[in-house]
Amino acid sequence: MQHKTKTNQMKYLNHITESIGNTPLVKLNRVTEGIRATVLAKVEYLNPGNSVKDRMAIKMIEDAEAAGILKPGGTIIEGTSGNTGMGLALVAIAKGYKCIFTMSDKQSKEKIDVLKAVGAEVIVCPTNVAPDHPDSYYAVARRLNQEIPNSFYPNQYDNMSNTVAHYETTGPEIWDQTEGKITHFVTGVGTGGTVSGTSQYLKEQNAEIITVGIDTYGSVFKKYKETGIFDEKEIYPYATEGIGEDILPKNVNFDLIDSFIKVTDKDGAVMTRRLAKEEGLFVGWSCGSAVYGALEYAREHNLTEDDMLVVILPDHGSRYLAKLYNDDWMRAQGYID
C-alpha cells in the first residue's frame, strides 16, 4: 500500500502586517442610481489597521530603517488624524518600537482610544491654531522628535515614501483588478500620498486616465490647483476627518491631479451612512465624501457605460461611532432631520 505524502504548505503570516494590501474592488450598485458608468470602490478598511494608511506606514518605517534613521528600540513620533497612527502602531509592534502620536482635538474619541489600545501614547492638541503655532499637532510632534533620543518623525505629509508606497502597491493593484479598463481615479486628498502615487502609476500605464481629487470646504487644495494661489481666506474649520489641509504637503503632486471637487461636511456624512445601509460598506466619513464627489463628477461630465471610476474608501466606520453613526449627533449638526 502506497502512502501519499502531503506536500501542502502551511499558510500563515509571520505578523499581521504581512496582510497589508491586496484589498478588493467592490461595485457600487444602489447609491449609483442614474449613473451609467461603472463605479468600483477600493475597500481599504480590509487592511489590518482598517485603513489605507497601513500601506505607507510600513513603507516609511522600512525606508527609515534602511537609511539608518530608525534604530532598534527607537520611538516613532507622528502627528496623525488616527489612521496613520494605527498603521504605524502595528508596524511598531511587529518590529519592537515605541510610539507617541499627536492628534488634533477634533478627531473622534474612538481614534484616540484605539491607538491607546495598541500601546501608543497619545497627546491631544488644539485644532484651531495655525500649523506653525507651538501647540499645533504638527509642531508638538516635531518638538518631541528633537527632545527624545533615537526617535523618528515620519512626517507623512512631506515623506515621499508615502507616495512611493501607493506607486508600488495601490496603483498596480487597481490596474490589475480592472484589467486596465479604469478611466477615472477618484480619491480624497489629505497628505497626498494616495492620490500622487496611485495616479502616477496609472497614468504611466495609460496617460488618458483622469484623476479627480476630493477636497473639503475649509481646505486650500482646489483653489491652489486652479489658480496657483495659496489663499488663507479658504482656510476655516471643518468637521470631515482625513481630507483637506491648511498646508501644501510635498506629497501632493498637483500635476497628477486633473481636477478637484469640494464636498460639504453634510453631503459626505449623509453619503457615508448611505454606503453602510445601501451597499453594506461600513466606512468612515471621507469615504462618503469621495463617493459623493465621484458621482457628482460622473453626472457633470455625463459619463457613459464605457467609463469605469475607481474610488478609494480609506477607512472603517468603527472610527466614527460617536459621530456619524450616532443619530443624535447627526441631528445636532443639522445633517439629518
Active-site amino acid positions: 53
Q: C-alpha 38: how far from its chain's center?
A: 22
Query: Taking a C-beta distance cutoff of 8 angstroms, is the pair 55, 20 a contact?
Result: yes
Instruction: State the burial class of residue 52 (Cβ atoms within 10 Å of its Cβ: 0-12, 13-18, 19+).
Output: buried
121: helix, coil or strand?
strand
* Number of residues that this document lists for the chain: 337
Q: Please state, in angstroms and rounded to a whole number, the distance separating the CA atoms of residues 23 and 174.
A: 9
CA angle 74/79/80 to nearest 5° reads 110
186: helix, coil or strand?
strand
Which contacts of 219-225 are long-range, i.e. CB under 8 A and separated by 24 or more positions?
219/243, 219/244, 219/245, 219/246, 219/262, 220/244, 220/245, 220/246, 220/247, 220/248, 221/189, 221/245, 221/252, 221/260, 222/260, 222/261, 222/262, 224/248, 224/254, 225/254, 225/257, 225/259, 225/260
Phi, psi of 167, deg, nearest 5: -65, -35
